[in-house]
A = this chain, B = another copy of it.
Amino acid sequence: MNSFGRIFRISLYGESHGTEIGVIIDGCPPGINLTEKDFIKDIERRKSGIVGTTKRTESDKPIIKSGVYKNKTTGAPIMISFKNENQKSEDYEFDGFFRPGHADFTANKKYKGFNDYRGGGHFSGRLSLPVVAAGIVAKKIIPEINITAKIEEIGGQKNYIKLIEKTIKEKDSIGGIISCTVKNIPAGLGEPFFNSLESVISAGLFSIPGIKAVEFGAGINLSKMKGSEFNDVFIDTSGKTLTNNAGGINGGISNGNDIFFKVHIRPSSSIGKTLKTYNFKTNKMQNFSVKGRHDACFALRLPPVVEAVTAIVIADFWMGG
């Protein structure tokens, strides 16, 4: 299922080393101003090129193919594509190794060897680019709601520049934590049980390659708390609470306080450092290292992706999804 959302719905396509990737956005209301310039800021934030990120540089220029007329959304499906310009397939040809930590092995099993494995194919983190594009459209549907994701820690550190430089030198990679805060969200969005805000937001977040843990509000600390510490007592009729251990969500529904969550991102699986792993041709354990261009810390690129997923979910609920 390449689609996500109920009323505001996105559908992805494309591979890392194909000609293009993109997204169809369905259910966007008509009359919203939208030009290709609107995408620049978040796409730049996601871009590689900064320290700790891959040297694969793409222009990442969005091309709006449908659903926009005279710079306004029409209500019809919006298709946005991005050309792949800088792929180097020779870096990735299969040579007996399924790259550890990657989807190469599982994709091979699921798709019986027919998957386009070049650069991870459809599993590539590059597919988060059209997600960011869809997120920009979503943000425009809910202009009063403010969604901000930022790096909390890299490798367990708040000040991590030196750690990243060291990691690069060691031809290794490193994980990190991103937090996200949603301000000015009205009470009443979300549903009990299967469409709880936590359920739908987490489903979106765990679709981003590399995210392996999600915690709402006080999150992992809640399992150590007492009820008398946890309970966010109300302090006025708006529903404002003294603390926000619940992360702005009770019973799956926003309570009007800030929504707050953190995601934990694993290190990149592609590292230049040598590992021992299984060679599926020779049937032997063997030294292995990944050549090519990779992120030492792709967590650095994910804040706009986390925001995008969050915006998509909230816009969908906002529209009745």
A234–B278 CB distance below 8 A = yes
Q: Which of B75, B122, B216 contacts A212 (CB 8 A)?
A: B216
A226 at the interface (CB under 8 A from B): yes
Interface segment, one of A38-46, A47-55, A136-144, A251-259: A251-259
Residue of B nearest to A101 (CB): B231
Report Cα–Cα, A216/B3, bound state, in Å.
Answer: 23
Distance of A172 Cα from B228 Cα, bound (Å): 6
Which residues of A come within 8 Å of B, CB atoms? 1-4, 6-7, 9, 11-15, 18-22, 24, 26-27, 30-31, 65-67, 69, 72-79, 81, 98, 100-103, 105-107, 109-116, 118, 120-123, 127, 153, 155-156, 167, 170, 172-177, 187-188, 190-196, 198-200, 202-204, 206-207, 209, 211-220, 222-237, 239, 241, 245-247, 249-256, 264-271, 273, 275-278, 280, 283, 285, 288, 299, 319-320
Of listed A193, A270, A320, residue having the most chain B CB within 10 A: A193
Question: Which residue of B122, B153, B207 is within 8 Å of A66 (Cβ)?
Answer: B122
Known: A167-B226, A231-B269. A74 touches B9 (CB 8 A): no
In the complex, the count of this chain's copies comes to 4
With the chains together, A191 CA to B106 CA distance in Å?
A: 10
Taking a contact as CB atoms under 8 Å apart, the answer to whether B198 and A267 are in contact is: no
Q: Could you list 21 examples of A-B contacts with CB < 8 Å? A: A3-B9, A3-B194, A4-B193, A19-B65, A22-B65, A74-B115, A76-B122, A101-B232, A103-B192, A105-B250, A123-B192, A156-B224, A172-B227, A199-B204, A213-B219, A215-B215, A219-B264, A230-B267, A231-B269, A235-B278, A235-B285
Q: Is there an interface contact between B239 and A109, defined as CB atoms closer than 8 Å? A: yes
Q: Are B15 and A9 in contact (CB under 8 A)?
A: no
Beta-carbon nearest neighbor of A21 in chain B? B66
